[in-house]
Amino acid sequence: MSSKNVISIKNLSKCYHIYQKPIDRILARWMPWKKRDFWALQNIDFSIGKGETVAIIGKNGSGKSTLLQLICGTLQATSGEVRVQGRIAALLELGAGFDLESTGRENVYINGMLLGMTQVEIRREFDKIEAFADIGDFIDQPVKTYSSGMFVRLAFAVIAHASPDILIIDEALAVGDIFFVQKCMRFIREFKKKGTILFVSHDTSAVTSLCDRAVWLDNGQMKMLGSAKEVSERYLAFQHAKDRSSETGEEILDKPNYNREAILSTTTNIRDCRQDMLNDSNLKNEIRLVELGSANNGYGTGKAKITHVNLLQDGQSVASIIGGENVSLEIVVDVSEQLESVIAGFYFKDRLGQRLFGDNTYLSYLHEPISVTPGELMVAIFKFRMPILPVGDYSIDVALASGDQDNHTQHHWIHDAATFKSLSSSVASGLVGIPMESIKFLKANDGV
């Protein structure tokens, strides 16, 4: 095992024997056909370096939890090996490691010792653990009376104070309330500076935001290993496009054929009160188009194709825009088959693939869904004020689907349909800044 790797997995496989009836467990010794082998994992092979944050993604039943249990040592592999260097703190299925009849206070000691803490260490950290969990008098109640959220609060509070080298989290935060989840995410971001994290989640935004790399499991096999952004996008494409019949390869164009002026003639222009001052300084938020992407970055059924993507100002396609100013995003679609309830949408992302903002046409046409026929050219226009972006790289995903918000079929989704660079900005922290119509700072006796 390399000194730089804290987790090393080589040719790891896990097989479960499935029997139709209990008696078959005995008969299978002489009649092998009485059992069926189910391979939860097959030939998994990768390493995680010290200080890395790695996500495990995949649909339910893909082997994610089995892999984590093998790493933690709560399951034994059928073949292959897992080597771990350092203390692991894991938050797996709800209630794991808890004695339901014991109180929360007693379970802090039970869990702490399971994580390798001594009683002296637990006593020293107990007040911090209790404050982090924030479950009040329930700390002295049997944990069988706890809600799922209280389970997670107490379990995470213990692992957060166990001084682990490796933190493993298996989707458990999904049951927590927003305030506790945010507290946990702050801890995780701080832990990233000193430790290694293995993170299972269905939330690809959290994956791209938190993780350096991602492992995609599918039916027990490793389908892809790479950067969190790249793996998440490929995974989303795979999940959304199971029904696709073809992929297009035509590049995005920049000259659609329709009357822009008639559509863009009524743009409200409420400016940021500091815009003129900012635009005359080195804090001007200049955002330049780096390149238009290609439709071969996309996927879908092929029943419609996005042919043009542009940012517009004053009805003209532009290669440079200013954060805080009005802009329009134009998506032009060529339809090749009859489609009902058509939806167009976009996401604006940072360099990690984290979605900053976006929208779609669904709610605007909720009561009169749009139907299109073959050969029609459809144009979706989103008029909005561009947020003020911190210095960095950005991109836009665009999509055309049919259905509704929760149940739809992707006909064409293009990752990174256009990429941008924010060259300068007045925003020093946060993901985006918003234009301010007015800003006042008054003494109480000045009035409003």
Task: Give me the domain span that covers residue 303.
Answer: 260-422
Sheet (strand 79-84) strand order = 35-49, 5-19, 79-84
Mean pLDDT of the chain: 84
Q: How confident is the model at residue 250 (pLDDT cuts 50, 70, 90)?
A: very low
**Is residue 24 a part of any domain in this protein?**
yes
Find the DSSP H helices in 21-143.
24-27, 64-72, 104-114, 119-133
Q: Are 6 and 48 in contact (CB under 8 A)?
A: yes
Distance CA 324, CA 281 (A): 14
Identify the CA nearest to 41 among candidates 1, 82, 5: 82
pLDDT digits (tens, 9 = 90+) for 333-360: 999 999 999 999 999 988 878 889 999 9
Tokens (6 digits) for 311: 């940012």
* Residue position matching structure tokens 């995780």: 188
pLDDT digits (tens, 9 = 90+) for 156-184: 899 889 888 999 988 766 666 666 777 88
Strands (E), 20-109: 35-49, 53-57, 79-84, 88-91
**Is residue 434 a part of any domain in this protein?**
no
pLDDT digits (tens, 9 = 90+) for 78-132: 999 999 998 888 887 655 678 889 999 999 999 899 888 899 999 999 999 999 9
**Is residue 190 a part of any domain in this protein?**
yes
**Is residue 246 a part of any domain in this protein?**
no
397 and 346 inside one domain: yes
- Look at residue 256 and tell me whether its pLDDT is greater than 60: no
Last residue of a domain, one of 173, 206, 240: 240
143 and 270 inside one domain: no
110 and 15 inside one domain: yes
Strand partners, 82: 9
Q: Hey, what's the torsion of the CAs at 108, 111, 114, 115, to 10 degrees?
A: -90
- Which pLDDT does position 262 carry in this prediction? 55
87 and 158 inside one domain: yes
**Is residue 393 a part of any domain in this protein?**
yes
The whole-number average pLDDT for the span 12-26 is: 86
326 and 400 inside one domain: yes
Residues in the chain: 448
- CATH number of the CATH domain containing 405: 2.70.50.60
DSSP classification of residue 433: B
228 and 344 inside one domain: no
User: Considering its fold, how many domains does the chain have in total?
Assistant: 2
pLDDT digits (tens, 9 = 90+) for 408-430: 888 999 988 888 999 888 887 78
- Look at residue 381 and tell me whether its pLDDT is greater than 90: yes
**Is residue 433 a part of any domain in this protein?**
no
207 and 332 inside one domain: no
The residue type at 1: M
Q: How confident is the model at residue 224 (pLDDT cuts 50, 70, 90)?
A: very high
35 and 148 inside one domain: yes
**Is residue 352 a part of any domain in this protein?**
yes
The whole-number average pLDDT for the span 214-241 is: 88
DSSP classification of residue 9: E
- CATH number of the CATH domain containing 187: 3.40.50.300
> How would DSSP label each residue in 358-370?
EEESTGGGSSS--
- Which pLDDT does position 251 carry in this prediction? 39
Tokens (6 digits) for 135: 């479950």
Q: What is the CA radius of gyration of the chain?
A: 27
**Is residue 448 a part of any domain in this protein?**
no
228 and 271 inside one domain: no
Tokens (6 digits) for 32: 């092998």
Distance CA 113, CA 365 (A): 58
- Look at residue 292 and tell me whether its pLDDT is greater than 70: yes
315 and 175 inside one domain: no
Q: How confident is the model at residue 214 (pLDDT cuts 50, 70, 90)?
A: very high
Distance CA 353, CA 416 (A): 9
SS3 state at 374 = coil
223 and 352 inside one domain: no
Which are the contacts of 307, defined by CB distance < 8 A and separation ≥ 6? 250, 252, 253, 256, 295, 332, 333, 334
* CA 272 to the chain's CA centroid: 32
Strands (E), 282-376: 286-292, 298-299, 304-313, 316-317, 320-322, 326-335, 342-350, 355-360
- Look at residue 247 and tell me whether its pLDDT is greater than 70: no
